[in-house]
Structure 1
């Protein structure tokens, strides 16, 4: 009986591990900043619809997770022969929204305030972040978008899969869900890789992101 119980526990843990690995979003390939792609004179220009575009985010800690969105302030994207060639986007860090806590609850305002202060994104000092496209390539049947992400005076190049569709004068870009290591952009609060003796009070370094961009000519 004891042997059977141990076997069941082992299988349960193994199954949990498999599903945890499967569900974890892949980390974006991250490297040093690269040269930004130039806009060609013959390229088609699209302007971001900031009302319809958003970046979904999710953060993790032992006790659970928090998630929400953040908006763009402005942005443009260029295409040629239906393919992305260049673009840049300004992210409005003052638009952090928390969606897992009801807006009317005090905890919602507290979390938004904490994410906005110097512990995390220091929005007063760094009101915007920037993403500038450096290149696009096709690999293993996917479109991989690369760009320099600048946040809190740190710039790294990130690469992640996207799907791009055009219809009439409209362009839609949707990324796969991916993660970035926040400590590479000087967001260090509660990080086990930076601070010792945090126990179970740490916050995961990985932030999960999913980009939705809608733009028009």
Structure 2
């Protein structure tokens, strides 16, 4: 009798441990990515959509996941005519590289806002980036938000009018870093 009770207790404990791990599917219709790129004088802003994605939690905290970015959806919202130039070989070369990816490699949940580290791949070049994110979960969903995520375009061989490479551009130079504001909504 004691042995049966022990086996049942072990099974119940294991079931609870596994039940606390949850997979979420990113809602690509309600999730958003906004970008902001600055020039020496001025700058531009825009949006880009997610193609797909998943997030995993363990005991209510993000533990893994990733998403695919649809580079064809890139839009410059303050200067729509610039969108085509951003998609050509001077910048993201979207015909050759129609998607970018971000895959979480590590999460530091010791902070109020977890520090997410992952591999960002653009134009088949991968670079590790880290950023804090606000994360909240509900009974059937998850919301994660990160603002001001810095990306250095030189890490992905995007050199067009780089302020650090071309010193003779004056006010036509473009800063090497751009930022992303990411809002991910996901459901079980």
Q: Does 1:162 align with 2:133?
A: yes
Instruction: Judging by fraction of residues, say which structure has more strand.
Output: 2
Provide the rounded CA distance (Å) in 2 between the counterparts of 1:176 and 1:97. 19
1:150 aligns with 121
1:180 aligns with 151
Q: Note the C-alpha offset of 1:178.
A: 2.5
Alignment size in residue pairs: 171
Closer, same or farther in 2 for the Cα pair 1:190/1:92, shift >3 Å?
same
1:211 aligns with 182
Q: Secondary structure at the match of 1:187?
A: coil
Provide the rounded CA distance (Å) in 2 between the counterparts of 1:100 and 1:112. 10
RMSD: 1.7
1:89 aligns with 67
Runs of at least 4 residues off by over 4 Å: none
Gaps in structure 1 of 5+ consecutive residues: 1-40, 102-107
Q: Note the C-alpha offset of 1:53.
A: 0.8
Question: What TM-score do you get using the length of structure 2 for normalisation?
Answer: 0.86
2:43 aligns with 65
Provide the rounded CA distance (Å) in 1 between the counterparts of 2:39 and 2:100. 24
State the Cα deviation string for residues 40-93 of structure 1 (Å, max 9, x = none). Answer: x76211001001111110011133111011110000111110011110210000
Alpha-carbon contact 2:133-2:145 (below 8 Å) kept: yes
Q: Secondary structure at the match of 1:112?
A: helix
Q: Note the C-alpha offset of 1:206.
A: 1.1
Provide the rounded CA distance (Å) in 2 between the counterparts of 1:210 and 1:139. 22
